[in-house]
Chains A and B, each alone.
Chain A
């Protein structure tokens, strides 16, 4: 037909412009990449053994040999930050994998099917959500004991309700969309509808929820290590370093400042990335 040529033009991919909204995304991506890069580096290499004590160099300030100084046992702060941030990252990632994984599953099933299953799971969810998540994690840890992986599990369980609620709302919204009705009408099975047809459509909301969850998990881990129930010494974690350095704030402030800055930058990066993703890909919804 005569208008076909016009239609071909519409097919050409429009290039996305890097406008106001691109700023969060790009900056967050760069910052996150740098921080995670440093942490990954810490898994394989650090300037000094993070647990090696040097009696002669207790609380010495930043210098060429020890760029971030040394702590009260003469351990290199930079090495401990790299390794400690690794532990923090593992706990945070584990938390969102557990919390996000179970939350997505529960939210998807309850949101899509509804009915009595929805009622039961959501009431359990409400009961979980009724406790502040830190309190819940504290209870779980006092029952199971402390340690990196137990903190992960405790925080993960404590994070389930918020994910489940967000995901449920999104599935509820998508369930009645025409394209989901179409999928049902060509005989697509329920699991495939949930995870192949709907899940990609809720990605913007889900990714930013995961980014926020990640940040909360980092802060919570730091808080729990600070309270002495998270990562146990001589292991390092950012929260533990902050907690240990509290006594020496006057004589060695660098022991607190550098882990603190690292923590802030990591959270800032992931937070901006999360917002950037929502701005960039979720704007039209």
Chain B
């Protein structure tokens, strides 16, 4: 479904050219949950934002292509790209407290993508929004529809963000550290929710994290990135059991009590009947 080929991203900073991502290539199948792990500055977020179509002024994209079902996103004019954004590709962020507009009601924010990308009537849109809120496992969606973000908790806001991202049933959901700012209990429930949505809507998820434990729980395949290059790629289990690079070994060693979460992974797999 998604095919990234020879993607390089540079920054121009006061005339000096800085490299953020160097010649990376990877593929994602339909319905796959692919994880990207790496430390801060490894280029994982840059890669995600570029796929989602957000490029900044000082950014130079050199060669490479991002193919979503045979459409090269990098060659699309901005107006065409806007039609894909929010409809086929959507993204959720790390920080649920700042990612919702404080002056817009929850319902309106979730509805925004529908207004842009569909021709549904007002009542149909409302129904779709309520359904998306239910899909994101939020209770009392009717009540939530007219609430402002400040009336919600962090976990609830993250669910609202997810509802807004999936309301158009995108093929690809990019999740940039969606659990990092949440407490451990909420983290688990958000991960389960993502897994459920992945199965229910056949939605591919590109899951970005610096936390190998979280990636291990969710992703079937994983890329390990460092300093703008992909160090390692493979099935999560294989990489976990048999890391090929020193860096991956260190990452695994950095997980506190990782044996326990491997057990949790087994549990998830058993649940999924894999």
> How many residue pairs at the A-B interface have CB separations less than 8 Å?
79
Chain B residues closer than 8 Å to A189, beta-carbon distance: 82
B112 touches A188 (CB 8 A): yes
Whole-angstrom CA separation of A115 from B222 in the bound complex: 39
Q: A178-B93, A178-B95, A186-B112 are in contact. Are A7 and B153 (CB under 8 A)?
A: yes
Q: Which residues of B contact A15 (CB under 8 A)?
A: none
Tell me, in angstroms, the Cα distance from A114 to B58 when the chains sit together. 13
Dominant SS among interface residues on chain A: helix
- Tell me if A179 and B98 are in contact (CB < 8 A): yes
CA distance A203 to B86 in the complex (A): 27
* CB of B6 closer than 8 Å to a CB of A: no
Q: Which of B43-94 touch A at CB < 8 Å?
A: 52-54, 57, 81-87, 90-91, 93
Check A187 against B151 for contact (C-beta < 8 Å): no
In angstroms, how far is the closest chain A Cβ from the Cβ of B106?
11
Which of B53, B116, B147, B164 interacts with A11 by CB under 8 Å?
B147
Contact A186:B86 (CB < 8 A) given known A179-B98, A179-B101:
yes
A46 within 8 A of B: no
- A184 to B116 Cα, complex, angstroms: 12
Indicate if B100 sits at the interface (CB-CB under 8 A): yes
A36 to B62, CA, bound (A): 62
CA distance A10 to B139 in the complex (A): 12
Determine if A21 is an interface residue (Cβ-Cβ < 8 Å): no
Residues in A neighbouring B52, C-beta threshold 8 A: 185
| CB pair B104 A185 closer than 8 Å | no
A1 CB–B CB distance under 8 Å: yes
Minimum Cβ distance to chain A for residue B239 (Å): 30
Q: Which residues of A contact B164 (CB under 8 A)?
A: 182, 186
| CB-based contact A8/B139 at 8 Å | yes
B99 touches A182 (CB 8 A): yes
Minimal beta-carbon separation of A251 from chain B (angstroms): 56
In the complex, the answer to whether A200 meets B147 with C-beta atoms within 8 Å is: no
Say whether B33 faces chain A, with CB atoms less than 8 Å apart.
no
Interface centre among B53, B116, B164 (most CB of A within 10 A): B116
Q: Assess the A183–B112 pair: CB atoms within 8 A.
A: yes
B101 in contact with A197 (CB, 8 Å): yes
Residue B14 interfacial (CB < 8 Å)? no
Nearest chain A CB to B260's CB is how many angstroms away? 22
| CA gap between A76 and B86 in the complex, in Å | 66
* Residue B156 at the chain A interface, CB threshold 8 Å: yes
CB contacts (< 8 Å) of B91 on chain A: these are 182, 185
| Chain B nearest CB, measured from A170 CB (Å) | 13
Contact of A177 with B98 at beta-carbon distance under 8 Å, contacts A8-B139, A184-B54, A201-B103 already known: yes
Q: Sort A-B residue pairs by CB-CB distance and give the 5 closest, nearest first.
A: A186-B86, A187-B82, A187-B85, A200-B103, A178-B99
A-B contact pairs, 24 of them (CB 8 A): A7-B139, A7-B153, A7-B156, A8-B140, A11-B140, A14-B151, A115-B57, A178-B93, A179-B100, A181-B93, A182-B99, A182-B164, A183-B112, A184-B54, A185-B52, A185-B90, A186-B90, A187-B81, A187-B84, A187-B86, A188-B112, A189-B82, A197-B101, A201-B101
Given contacts A178-B95, A179-B101, 6 further A-B contacts (CB under 8 A): A13-B151, A182-B91, A182-B164, A186-B85, A187-B117, A201-B103
A interface with B by C-beta (< 8 Å): 1, 4, 7-8, 10-11, 13-14, 114-115, 177-189, 197, 200-201, 203
